[in-house]
Structure 1
Amino acid sequence: MTQIRKSKSKILNVYNSSSNCSNNHCDKYNHHSCGCSKANSHNHSNSCECSKDFSNINNNYYTKEFILKGLNCTNCANKIERNIRKLDGITNSSLNFSTSRLKVEFEKKLESTIYEIINKIVTNLEPDVDVIDTSIVLNNDHSTKEFTLKGLNCTNCANKIERNIKNLDGVINSSLNFSTSKLKVEFEKKLESTIYETITKIVTNLEPDVKVIDTISNLNKSNSYNNKKNKNNINTLPIKMILTLAFMGLGFLFKKESFGFIPFLIGYFIISFSIMKKSIKNIIKGEIFDENFLMVIATLAAISVAEYPEAIMVMLLYQVGEYFQGRAVESSRKSISDLMDIRPDYANLKSNNKIKKVSPNKVSVGDIIIVKPGEKVPLDGIVIEGNSSVDTKALTGESIPKEVSKNTSITSGFINIDGLLTIRVTKTFGESAVSKILDLVQNATSKKAKTELRITKFAKYYTPIVVLIAVLLTIIPPIFIPSQTFNTWLIRGATFLVVSCPCALVISIPMSYFAGLGASSKSGVLVKGGNYLEALNNVGTLVFDKTGTLTKGNFKVDKIVSSNDFNKDDFLKYVAHVESFSTHPIAVSIVSEFNGTINKDLIKNYKEIRGKGVEALVDGKLVSSGNLKFLRDKGITVAESDAFGTVIYTAIDNKYIGFISIKDEIKEDSKKAILGFKKLDINNIVMLTGDRKITAVNVSKELSISNYKYGLLPNEKVSEVENLIKNKGNKSLVFVGDGINDAPVLARADVGIAMGGVGSDAAIEAADVVIMNDAPSKIINAIKIAKKTKRIANENIFMSILVKLIIMVLALFGLAPMWLAIFGDVGVSIIAVFNAMRILKIN
């Protein structure tokens, strides 16, 4: 399997965003070399997420994002990406064709020339494409809006809408997600007052029955405009059907009369007018091969040979089929959207002892909000008053309520069950967990699975080829077979045209993957794209970090051993003082074990040696505390302890005094997870840890993991994963860590899975899949959903192609009426969409 390529830029962005860490003693490179990577345990302020030293990367490399406005050719996009990646000084490039966004990671020396370099490559390949530097755009006046296109059930029309909006003057970028009907538009500020009307006009021209709703700001102007526009937007299909059937009846009544064809034609134009109108508009715009064109040509062919009833019934059945197909798509969208119904509608803002119901967007950091029983928590914050149970199922998939009380952190999207909570807001709505999760879910479909990309490419060439076959089928037999008439083969060719529309594939396959993403979210697993869901279908190697992933990451002092020169209490006092400046969880556990008061006035000349330990003068004595290598490098004789857990060795005035062993518990869920993976025939399970051999051996024995590596620094974990990738064959390699500390390995793996996603911005940013609690067994659910998604997608492909081929063969021999071809198009589409919805039924 070709490795899923991921840009290192996402790692850099996380680290850059965390550069405001004010703690000088932050453990940036695993200072005890214990293998701990629990960023959330570092007890930093909310502004600090850092847990490793990536300063070399930050100093030597830059990341920029460009928008390639007007890029409509997938082949050209691939060439652009390849050419940029080959350039000297470019470390990586990633071009998302769906959003027209190009991310480039480059060496510092190219900073002043990178735009010119990118622009030259793009212009050489695609002269009409504009390259926009988003960093410049962000500094200027621009806006972003999101619209819902209610009733959009045509994938081809969705692509046309997206292209037309993207090419508007003043529009920087547009992205239309067909599965969610969400349209995101970035535009210059000057278009703020007209953007809604402009988009509505484009949508109405292409799809008159689609409603445009402003879902970001919910402006009254937009809603009133929509209401006016859609007052008369009732379903006219029943009226058309009644009139058409009435004129069709008149046609049969006067069939023998010279004017008998006129009622048939009137009935045909009543039912087909809207389709003919769309087809003519699209032809004018250069869009020929769509379903409207195929239906018009096929039915006009039938009329030309006086098969009036056939032409009318084809159009009638097509319109009815399209209506039910649209209902099926809308129903499936609603089913998936309901799975992630976590967006809060309002917040109860407390101000001057009064409570006012406001939009969550209007609440600022530091404001006080009230959450009543039964309400959703609208923003992330800290509980300052009250006790309650909260339902976390929508985010974590867990059915057991969580207890919250004063000073407890609480996450947006939770549902308050039984108590009144007063919360101080710590993040704006745009930065809240619920907002980021919704954004991930809605944008996940932009990262398409290979199956989706293949179907899109297949559809692009399939329809013109079938049209050509239909033309040849109409012309060649009457010429070379004397007994055959042109009229006979014209009808057969028209049937070919009707059945050629690839709607069943183009709609149902993306819906299958979107349903898979929704089902994963329901079970508490966020998958950031169909490509990662597809990769989870073919897992061959699972690599686990130990601390915080297989173990709880909750460190507790297990044993204190000191020499005769110091009793245990005095020994612990010195170690606690020297460790008191560190926020590393091991240091915190040692300080917590010390019952006395830390007098920081006694501490002088504090120094931290990353990856090894800490040193300082404590009450005039030089105290050195860290791993075995740290003390031995100082020339201190130390005998290695065989104590279980992480061992911190301490010397005072360069004389070894003793050690403290720290124990970490294995998660109850870890053993269940390992057994579950083996039942799924994933037997190559590897554990990587920075901890000592004795700890690694004990954990691996308890979890039945035979393949493990210990004593690894973060960069060595990357090397180990590189070696595993070389031998993984065509299977996926999945790395499971617990957030930002494992970012380099998460990025290198085919699929990077981060644990403990709720409240962890770093984990959500760094990984491809986020487990919304700390349970490794959730990965089993994700793999099962991935397999089910792939199976159902393949079923839809097989069913759609098989039915079409059968009807084509029957049409070839004159055994398939045109109405049967309609079933091969919209009928199969409806069946395929409902089949895709079976993914939502998680066993």
Structure 2
Amino acid sequence: MATSEKTLQITGMTCAACANRIEKGLSKIEGVEKANVNFALESSTIVYDPAKTNVNEFKARVEKLGFNVVQEKVAFDISGMTCAACATKIEKRIGKMDGVSNASVNFALETIAVEYDSKQVETTEMITAVKKMGYELIPKQDSKDKMDHKEQEIKKQEKKFIISLILTIPLLWTMVAHFEFLSFIYMPHILMNPWLQLAFATPVQFIIGAQFYKGAFNSLRNKSANMDVLVALGTSAAYFYSLYLSIEWMNNGKVGSPELYFEASAVIITLIVLGKLFEVRAKGKTSQAIQKLLGLQAKTARVLRGSVEMELPIEEVIVGDTILVKPGERIPVDGEIIEGRSAIDESMITGESIPVDKVAGDKVIGATINKNGSLQITATKVGKDTALAQIVKVVEEAQGSKAEIQRLADKISGIFVPVVVVIAVATFLIWFFIVTPGDFRSALIPTISILVIACPCALGLATPTSIMAGSGRAAEMGLLFKGGEHLENTRSIDTVVLDKTGTVTKGQPALTDITVTAGFTEDEVLQLVATAENQSEHPLAQAIVLGVKEKGLSLLDVSDFEALPGYGIRANVSGKEVLVGTRKLMNDYKIAISDSNAAMEKFESEGKTAMLIAVNHKLAGIVAVADTVKETSKEAIARMQALGLEVIMLTGDNQRTAEAIARQVGLSHVIAEVLPEQKSDEIKKLQDQGKKVAMVGDGINDAPALAMANIGMAVGTGTDIAIEAADITLMRGDLNSVADAIIMSRKTMRNIKQNLFFAFFYNTIGIPIAAIGLLAPWVAGAAMAFSSVSVVLNALRLQKVKL
């Protein structure tokens, strides 16, 4: 069956349940092989047989379910861009097409993301429109193919540079004759021959430099100007003026040696090609995060089908397969353990360095490492549905998106080249008519220098390279920014609102305290209580049983168990009557509890659930259970406060329990007894006070509050982490990630500002210096090439950030 793939943009979803409903509805359409709805990205990817169904049926089904298909999304790789002006031009052209609501070009990644209405425009029209501009839109390649393409591009640039360098070195040697302080260097007379210089310069100008002429022609044909226009103008002026002087020298009987500028044009082109080589290599490094993530994937899986064990390529594993994983091996796909227990190293996915113990029933993530036990798992997600694939997709989309500061840089780049051409022409006229009247050579040199040094490559690379490096490094640390705008906006957060259960606390009750009265020992009372509670399914009972088992105590024989709803339990344990429950339960059985009042009130003031214990109608002690604070919460909150952030806890729990938890973690501001649907109202109140608010929650239950906040952060672990309903997914269940995300955002924005400073510095300083004749063209070429490289190298520093 020949299948096609379609991505629809869906609006109206309010929770993960909506996504599941749409997914089921689409899957029921005849001809649909697979439908995957991404709640966070509000999109659906459908694999289908075009002979049996079409896109209109998908839209009709989604609309019948009460949702809307407003836009579709498509992504292309772009071939032929040479600078930010090219990117701006393509973006404007696609953006003006009927049916296109948004087009975003990333110059550093050489990609474009388009949101459009297929009823008004087809992707083929986009490809044709861009082709007429002299560029090429290529259907999005997967990350591995793109890395291979990058390798080919690097080799191509290396070859160009080597050829250009070999031809340029003899011309560079002739520059020695221009400087008296280098007169001691031997200069072969033959190198001063204009025709020999022409022979060296021509292949560089028209073969190596063909890309600049082609780009300039396409740009001018589209009534705009880009970097290629500047390079073609500058180098052509030097080349053809030198050719004119060579012809004049021959007509004058070959007297003397004319002052030629073949070396200027050749050196400029060679330096720009070198800069492009560095740039391509560096841009490859900014995508290292994705390469590392892809490299984590297991290549094969040991699959058990029937009674036969076989080793299959990862692509052939299907949902439902039973997979055997030995100690030290990577888990090939997302799944659930059906047999065995082990510690799993999830550091490559969550950034958490301590292995996590897993037993039958626990979920495991593909690409994590099985440390010490043999496991059998059932595959639950494969291919593009795995957590790793979702993470790669989120990182790619974040790297391809635009921050607001980049949009400003793009606007400047769009008008920069025409302004520079005007400045260059004005400079030539001033020199030719005023400074050195009639001296063409003196007027030409500063003009060439201006055209060359002013190329806005660095300006175009300043923001996207930092976004790529910053979001990639963040992903390695377990922080998934779902767009460049979120990476930018997080830095401005001044207030962090934390959900309590599952965010500040573990979200699971645990045994915390035991006190006993005279005549009883702790171990004795714990054994009796745990044995009695083991018959109950109540979460607090299970917490007591688990806590006692962790202490190494065994359970006893039990009989005559009775649950007393609202009061507690009664059971006969090894011949002893055991009661566990409330004050009311004890009073009903006429057990004296007055001596326990102080301890009960103390536990309750700490936000714990305290239960009285009686053995054979005598008070034996008190057991306390609580949703305990995560070990890292207090430290993490202290880090946030040290960053100058106001930290608030928001919970539906009662005021006393909330304040008890707040005291443990060092918080003074608590908003308690808030219903889930009221949480977004509390966020709005804070925003009305002028605060920039980040909401930190579980990403689903807190969806309205996460959506209302300036930045929504989902704290989560598990296989669905990459599709949580938030702007940032914190892969670890650790609040330190909140501070890490804010620090990463601040460092990235600082890096972008440094890059923009470098880019503007080169141009604003270089152009006036060139205009007054103090900058040789070859120096201008070197400065221009170095400006792009320095910007990319500065961005790469983000990949070394340690938190």
Please, what TM-score do these two structures have when normalized by structure 1? 0.66
Question: 2 CA distance for matches of 1:377 and 1:173?
Answer: 39
Aligned-residue offset at 1:660: 12
Q: Is the 8 A contact 1:384 1:406 kept in 2?
A: yes
* Match status 1:787 vs 2:746: yes
1:195-221 Cα deviation digits (max 9, x unpaired): 9xx99x9699758xx9999538989xx
Pick the aligned partner of 2:607 from 620, 640, 645: 645
* Match status 1:498 vs 2:452: yes
Partner of 1:294: 230
Aligned-residue offset at 1:152: 8.5
Aligned-residue offset at 1:538: 2.4
Aligned-residue offset at 1:226: 13
Q: Is the 8 A contact 2:436 2:443 kept in 1?
A: no
Partner of 1:801: 760
Aligned-residue offset at 1:736: 0.9
1:167/1:647 Cα in 2 relative to 1: closer, same or farther (>3 Å)? same
Q: Is the 8 A contact 1:696 1:710 kept in 2?
A: yes
Question: Could you list the runs of 5+ residues in structure 2 that have no partner in the other structure?
Answer: 1-8, 25-36, 46-58, 175-187, 243-260, 515-529, 548-554, 567-580, 582-599, 612-621
Q: Is the 8 A contact 1:448 1:530 kept in 2?
A: yes
Pick the aligned partner of 2:377 from 423, 430, 434: 423
- Aligned-residue Cα RMSD (Å) equals 5.5
The one-letter amino acid of 1:688's match is L
* Match status 1:12 vs 2:14: yes
Pick the aligned partner of 1:520 from 474, 477, 491: 474
Aligned-residue offset at 1:535: 2.1
* Match status 1:671 vs 2:655: no
Question: 1 CA distance for matches of 2:665 and 2:793?
Answer: 41
Aligned-residue offset at 1:332: 3.3
Partner of 2:184: none
Pick the aligned partner of 1:215 from 142, 147, 156: 142
Give percent identity, aligned residues only.
Answer: 29
Aligned-residue offset at 1:780: 1.9
Q: Is the 8 A contact 1:547 1:553 kept in 2?
A: yes
Aligned-residue offset at 1:766: 0.7
1:487/1:702 Cα in 2 relative to 1: closer, same or farther (>3 Å)? same
Question: Could you list the runs of 5+ residues in structure 1 that have no partner in the other structure?
Answer: 1-6, 23-48, 50-57, 68-103, 116-131, 138-143, 561-571, 607-612, 614-624, 626-639, 650-658
* Match status 1:759 vs 2:695: no
1:334/1:430 Cα in 2 relative to 1: closer, same or farther (>3 Å)? closer
Aligned-residue offset at 1:817: 0.8
Q: Is the 8 A contact 1:248 1:267 kept in 2?
A: no
Q: Is the 8 A contact 2:71 2:117 kept in 1?
A: no
Question: 1 CA distance for matches of 2:473 and 2:630?
Answer: 25
Partner of 1:826: 785
Q: Is the 8 A contact 1:512 1:789 kept in 2?
A: yes
The one-letter amino acid of 2:457's match is C
Question: 1 CA distance for matches of 2:230 and 2:544?
Answer: 75
Pick the aligned partner of 1:323 from 277, 281, 284: 277
Partner of 1:408: 362
SS at match of 1:552: strand
The one-letter amino acid of 2:338's match is I
Aligned ranges for residues 60-459 of structure 1 at < 5 Å? 134=72, 206=135, 214-215=141-142, 235-245=159-169, 253=190, 255=192, 264-265=201-202, 268-284=205-221, 286=222, 288-306=224-242, 307-334=261-288, 337-338=291-292, 341-459=295-413
Partner of 1:52: none
Partner of 2:571: none
Q: Is the 8 A contact 1:374 1:418 kept in 2?
A: yes
Question: 1 CA distance for matches of 2:405 and 2:670?
Answer: 34
The one-letter amino acid of 1:235's match is K
Question: 2 CA distance for matches of 1:344 and 1:160?
Answer: 41
Partner of 1:699: 661
SS at match of 1:514: helix
Question: 2 CA distance for matches of 1:836 and 1:598?
Answer: 70
1:59-117 Cα deviation digits (max 9, x unpaired): xxxx99899xxxxxxxxxxxxxxxxxxxxxxxxxxxxxxxxxxxx9xxx99989x89xx
Which moves more between the two structures, 514-523 or 355-364?
355-364
Aligned-residue offset at 1:299: 1.2
Question: 1 CA distance for matches of 2:271 and 2:145?
Answer: 37
Question: 1 CA distance for matches of 2:150 and 2:513?
Answer: 70
Aligned-residue offset at 1:297: 0.6
Aligned ranges for residues 463-474 of structure 1 at < 5 Å? 463-474=417-428
1:718-760 Cα deviation digits (max 9, x unpaired): 111111112235xx31111122111111111111111123324
Aligned-residue offset at 1:481: 5.2
Question: 1 CA distance for matches of 2:292 and 2:387?
Answer: 18
1:496/1:175 Cα in 2 relative to 1: closer, same or farther (>3 Å)? closer
Aligned-residue offset at 1:494: 2.3
Question: 1 CA distance for matches of 2:408 and 2:283?
Answer: 21
SS at match of 1:548: helix
1:661-709 Cα deviation digits (max 9, x unpaired): 8621111111101111122222x11111111111112112222211111
The one-letter amino acid of 2:697's match is G
How many corresponding residue pairs? 666
Aligned-residue offset at 1:549: 0.7
The one-letter amino acid of 2:689's match is N
Aligned-residue offset at 1:482: 6.8
Pick the aligned partner of 1:841 from 796, 800, 803: 800
Question: 2 CA distance for matches of 1:499 and 1:745?
Answer: 50
Question: 1 CA distance for matches of 2:135 and 2:241?
Answer: 31
Please, what TM-score do these two structures have when normalized by structure 2? 0.69
1:383/1:450 Cα in 2 relative to 1: closer, same or farther (>3 Å)? same
1:791/1:263 Cα in 2 relative to 1: closer, same or farther (>3 Å)? closer
1:771/1:11 Cα in 2 relative to 1: closer, same or farther (>3 Å)? farther
Pick the aligned partner of 2:775 from 806, 811, 816: 816
SS at match of 2:724: helix
Question: 1 CA distance for matches of 2:133 and 2:373?
Answer: 48
Aligned-residue offset at 1:168: 12
Question: 2 CA distance for matches of 1:588 and 1:554?
Answer: 10
The one-letter amino acid of 2:299's match is D
1:448/1:259 Cα in 2 relative to 1: closer, same or farther (>3 Å)? closer
1:527-555 Cα deviation digits (max 9, x unpaired): 21222222222221111111111111112
Question: 1 CA distance for matches of 2:743 and 2:144?
Answer: 38
1:454-476 Cα deviation digits (max 9, x unpaired): 22222112222222222222224
